[in-house]
Amino acid sequence: MDFARKVWKLLVAVKDGLVLLLMLMFFAALYAALSARPGPAAVQHGALLLELSGVVVEEPSNPDPLSLLLSQEAPMGEFRARDIVRALRAAASDDRINSVVLDLSGFIGGGFVHLQDIGDALDAVRAADKKVYAFGIAFLDDGMLLAAHCDEVWVDPNGGAFITGPGGNRIYFAGLLDKLRVKANVFRVGTFKSAVEPYLLDGPSEASLKAEEVLLGAIWEEWKADYAKSRPQVDLRRITTDPAGWLKESGGDPAQAAKSAGMVDRIGTRSEFNMRMVEISGENRRDKGLGKYAHTDLGAWLSAVPENQKGRAIGVVTVAGEIVDGDAGPGLAGSDRIVGVLEKALDKDLAGLVIRVDSPGGSLMASEHIRRAVLRFKEKRIPIVVSMGNVAASGGYWVSTPSSRIFAERGTITGSIGVFAVIPTFDEALAEFGVTGGGVKTTPLTGQPDLMTGLSPEVSSMFQSTIEHSYRKFITLVGQSRKLSVEDAADWAEGRPWAGGAARQLGLVDEFGGLDDALAYAAKAAKLEDGKWHAEYLGQDQTSPLATALGMLGPGNREQAQTGGDFLSAASARQHQLLGQLRKTLRNLLGTRGVQAFCLECPAVTSGRAESGEDPAADRILSGILELRGH
Sorting pLDDT into bands at 50, 70 and 90, what band is 612?
Answer: very low
Bridge partners, residue 133, by sequence? 101, 152
What are the phi and psi torsion angles at 84 (to 5°)? -65, -45
Determine the pLDDT at residue 2. Answer: 66
Sorting pLDDT into bands at 50, 70 and 90, what band is 23?
Answer: low
pLDDT in tens, 216-235: 999 999 999 999 999 999 99
Q: Which of 53, 105, 130, 193 is flagged as catalytic?
A: 193
Determine the pLDDT at residue 29. Answer: 57
Determine the pLDDT at residue 600. Answer: 64
Q: What does the CA dihedral 133, 135, 136, 141 come to, rounded to 10 degrees? A: 0
Upstream peptide bond of 75 is cis (omega within 30 degrees of 0): no
Is 193 catalytic? The answer is yes
pLDDT over 60 (residue 207): yes
Determine the pLDDT at residue 255. Answer: 95
CA 83 centroid distance within chain: 15
Contact 133, 102 (CB under 8 A): yes
pLDDT over 80 (residue 97): yes
Determine the pLDDT at residue 333. Answer: 93
User: When comparing pLDDT for 64 and 182, which is higher?
Assistant: 182
Q: How far apart are CA 268 and CA 155, in angstroms?
A: 6
pLDDT over 90 (residue 405): yes
Determine the pLDDT at residue 66. Answer: 59
User: When comparing pLDDT for 533 and 438, which is higher?
Assistant: 533
pLDDT over 90 (residue 622): no
User: When comparing pLDDT for 438 and 612, which is higher?
Assistant: 438
pLDDT over 80 (residue 393): yes
Determine the pLDDT at residue 248. Answer: 94
CA 147 centroid distance within chain: 21
Q: Where are the domains of the chain?
A: 39-167+216-304
Work out whether the CA dihedral 552, 557, 558, 560 comes out positive or negative: negative
Q: How far apart are CA 204 and CA 207, in angstroms?
A: 8
pLDDT over 60 (residue 597): yes
Contact 387, 514 (CB under 8 A): yes
pTM for the predicted model, two decimal places: 0.83
Determine the pLDDT at residue 603. Answer: 65
Determine the pLDDT at residue 585. Answer: 58
| Nearest residue to 122 (alpha-carbon basis) of 50, 58, 40 | 50
312: Cβ–Cβ under 8 A, 6 or more apart, which residues? Answer: 349, 350, 351, 526, 528, 532, 533, 534
pLDDT over 80 (residue 201): yes
Q: Which of 281, 359, 394, 416 is flagged as catalytic?
A: 394
Buried b (16+ CB within 10 A) or exposed e, 583-608: bbbbbbbbeebebbbbbbbbbbbbbb
Contact 85, 117 (CB under 8 A): yes
Determine the pLDDT at residue 629. Answer: 43
The burial class, CB within 10 Å (0-12 / 13-18 / 19+), for 537 is middle
pLDDT in tens, 113-164: 999 999 999 999 999 999 999 999 999 999 999 999 999 999 999 999 999 9
Give the fold, CATH level 3, of 39-167+216-304. Answer: 2-enoyl-CoA Hydratase; Chain A, domain 1 (3.90.226)
Kindly report the average pLDDT of the chain as a whole number.
83
Determine the pLDDT at residue 173. Answer: 86
pLDDT in tens, 486-499: 988 888 988 889 99
pLDDT over 90 (residue 610): no
| Mean pLDDT calculated for residue range 571-578 | 50
pLDDT in tens, 271-320: 999 999 999 998 888 777 767 899 999 999 999 998 888 899 999 999 99
Q: What is the CA radius of gyration of the chain?
A: 27
Determine the pLDDT at residue 557. Answer: 39
Determine the pLDDT at residue 562. Answer: 42
List the single range of 521-530, 540-549, 589-598 with lowest mean pLDDT: 540-549
User: When comparing pLDDT for 101 and 570, which is higher?
Assistant: 101
Determine the pLDDT at residue 452. Answer: 81
User: When comparing pLDDT for 609 and 523, which is higher?
Assistant: 523
Contact 73, 19 (CB under 8 A): no
User: When comparing pLDDT for 417 and 631, which is higher?
Assistant: 417
pLDDT over 50 (residue 82): yes
| Mean pLDDT calculated for residue range 579-600 | 62
Determine the pLDDT at residue 236. Answer: 93
pLDDT in tens, 326-355: 998 788 999 999 999 999 999 999 999 999
User: When comparing pLDDT for 544 and 473, which is higher?
Assistant: 473
Pairing of strands 183-189, 152-161: unpaired
The burial class, CB within 10 Å (0-12 / 13-18 / 19+), for 275 is middle
Determine the pLDDT at residue 151. Answer: 96
Bridge partners, residue 50, by sequence? 102
pLDDT over 80 (residue 67): no
Sorting pLDDT into bands at 50, 70 and 90, what band is 559?
Answer: very low
Return the DSSP state at 332: S
